[in-house]
Amino acid sequence: MARFLQYLFDGVGNGSVYALLALGLVIIYRGTGHLNFAHGEMALLCTYVILQIHQWGLPVGLALPLGMVFGFGLGAVTEVALVRPIGKKSPFAVFIVTIALFTGLNWLCGAIWGSVALPTAAPGKAVSYPKLWEVGDRFVRIGGATWRYKYITLLAVVLVLAVLLWLLFSYTRLGLAMRAVASNAGSAELVGIKTSRVLMISWGLAVAIGALGGFMIAGLVNQVNLTLMLTPFLYASAAATLGGFDSPGGAVFAGLFLGVVESMVSQYQPTWVGNEMKQAVALLIILVVLLVRPSGLFGTSKVERV
């Protein structure tokens, strides 16, 4: 039983990372109808910016909000300067633009901060990425298994964000406007919704949440490097696909589910699966689900009239 609980806690910890990034993907899709394949690298750039602001002397309690503001601006400018003009000509071209952004932003981070993991320290001195609160390796023991406080904190942040996003999309004018624009931008304009503002806010809000995600992921591994977001973003994309690109709750559930599945399969079957093949297991699950329900487990099926 202790072994099962340990694998479960480990899976929930990894799944919380995937769910946090998947929420950003859901916001953009639900607010604009686009898929942002550069979301992970946008979060990476914000993570570097947060570290840089902190190294300039500001406390992490100010560096994180400033990094999220930077992320909001990055997302808003990207939508206005790139996505909007290109999307009017060809929606498919937005897909190509976000892939180009993925490459360009990763190169930019390397050009500014180098390819060495940051922060660095003098030999013999411990160093870690800044955190809002220091929990170290403290943990709670349940049924003989250990659940570390840092993963419990991350899970709590994900759940709070999911609830806030659900409230946003269900009970606020902005959230309803985001849903209307994603469904039919032309009809939304006819009823007085300022679609350009809604699209800009959607991208800005998603990247701001991505900045928070990058900050917390870097805190888990105590560093930031150019490959930090590659694997988490892959699983986040899978979680958003599995849960439904228009469902924040579905993204959270799917992220946690994938984290638990990969932990259980790789640990119980290390010879057959192991760490090398666990991504294939997650993608196989997604393939099966999409064959049965293309909109995802909790996504809304679209009906087209012909």
Residue 227 CB contacts under 8 Å (≥ 6 apart), including other chains: none
Q: In the beta sheet, which residues pair with residue 157? A: none
Distance CA 29, CA 247 (A): 10
Q: pTM of this prediction?
A: 0.89
The angle formed by the CA atoms of residues 250, 252 and 257, to the nearest 5 degrees, is: 90
Distance CA 181, CA 191 (A): 11
CB 151 within 8 A of CB 16: yes
pLDDT at 278: 65
Residues present in the chain in total: 306
Q: What is the phi-psi region of residue 280: left when phi exceeds 0, alpha when psi lies from -120 to 50, beta otherwise?
A: alpha
Distance CA 107, CA 91 (A): 25
The angle formed by the CA atoms of residues 210, 19 and 5, to the nearest 5 degrees, is: 140
**233-281 pLDDT, tens digit each:** 888 888 888 888 888 888 899 999 988 888 887 776 665 555 666 667 6
If you average pLDDT over every residue of the chain, what do you get? Answer: 85
Tokens of 262: 């990969």
Side-chain half-sphere CA neighbours of 70 within 13 A: 21
- pLDDT reading at 98 higher than 70: yes
Distance CA 25, CA 182 (A): 13
**99-127 pLDDT, tens digit each:** 999 999 999 999 999 988 888 765 555 66
Strand ranges inside the chain, DSSP E: 139-142, 145-148
- Asked which of 62-71, 80-89, 265-274 is least confident by mean pLDDT, the reply is 265-274
Tell me the C-alpha to C-alpha distance, in Å, between residue 225 and each of 15, 20, 52. Answer: 21, 19, 13
Distance CA 247, CA 241 (A): 10
Q: What is the mean pLDDT of residues 285-300?
A: 78
Q: What is the mean pLDDT of residues 37-63?
A: 93
Tell me the C-alpha to C-alpha distance, in Å, between residue 182 and each of 67, 112, 162, 187. Answer: 27, 35, 19, 10
* Cα dihedral 73/78/80/84 (nearest 10): -150
pLDDT at 306: 45
3-class secondary-structure state, position 224: strand
Domains, the chain, with CATH or none: 2-114+128-292 (1.10.3470)
How large a percentage of the chain has pLDDT more than 70? Answer: 89
Which of 229, 301, 276 is closest to 38 using CA atoms? Answer: 229
Most confident range (mean pLDDT) of 183-197, 240-254, 285-299 is 240-254
Give 299's DSSP letter.
P
Q: Which residue has the higher pLDDT, 305 or 92?
A: 92
Q: In the beta sheet, which residues pair with residue 147? A: 140
Contacts of range 132-141, beta carbons closer than 8 Å, 24 or more positions apart: 132/60, 132/61, 132/64
**131-188 pLDDT, tens digit each:** 877 766 777 888 888 888 888 888 999 999 989 988 988 888 888 888 888 777 778 8
